[in-house]
Amino acid sequence: MNKEYFQKVLEEEQEIRRDKFYLFMKNEGFTETIGKNLNFADDMPLFYKRIGENKFLVFNIPYYGKVKGRFFQADFWRVKVNNEDAFLKKKIDKNLYDDIILGFRMERNLELYYKEIGREV
């Protein structure tokens, strides 16, 4: 086994992680868009879902396709605004959003999502 083999295996594992994450986002009713470098990574996938009158959950994938050999993961945020345009089209104050976890990986952090939406694991 050589370096190329291990790189191929790592890439395949990350593709599986990415596919599971995308399926989860779809099944949970998240909307997909692309970040505009206002509050999250520019030109990277961004998923959001309203969970309250003034509350959204947001996942962004800051390194999507940029860094080889990197684990697929997302950053997970809580955003407190009235509507999605408030964070998709404008820069918001830092007190209106906070990170739940940077480097969210489904296999180890899914309970954080369920806690945010009030669902038992």
Q: Is residue 121 part of a domain?
A: no
pLDDT in tens, 42-90: 788 899 999 999 999 999 987 766 555 567 889 999 999 999 998 888 8
One-letter amino acid for residue 74 of the chain? A
Query: What confidence score (pLDDT) does residue 64 get?
Result: 63
- 116 contacts: CB under 8 Å, gap ≥ 6: 51, 57, 78, 100
DSSP letter at 39? S
Query: What confidence score (pLDDT) does residue 56 get?
Result: 96
Cα(115)–Cα(111) distance, rounded to whole angstroms?
A: 6
> Given pLDDT bands bounded at 50, 70 and 90, which one contains residue 41?
confident
Q: What is the tally of structural domains in the chain?
A: 1
Q: Is residue 25 part of a domain?
A: yes
Q: Is residue 79 part of a domain?
A: yes
Q: Is residue 65 part of a domain?
A: yes
Q: Is residue 120 part of a domain?
A: no
Q: Is residue 29 part of a domain?
A: yes
Q: Is residue 7 part of a domain?
A: yes
What domain range is 74 assigned to?
3-115
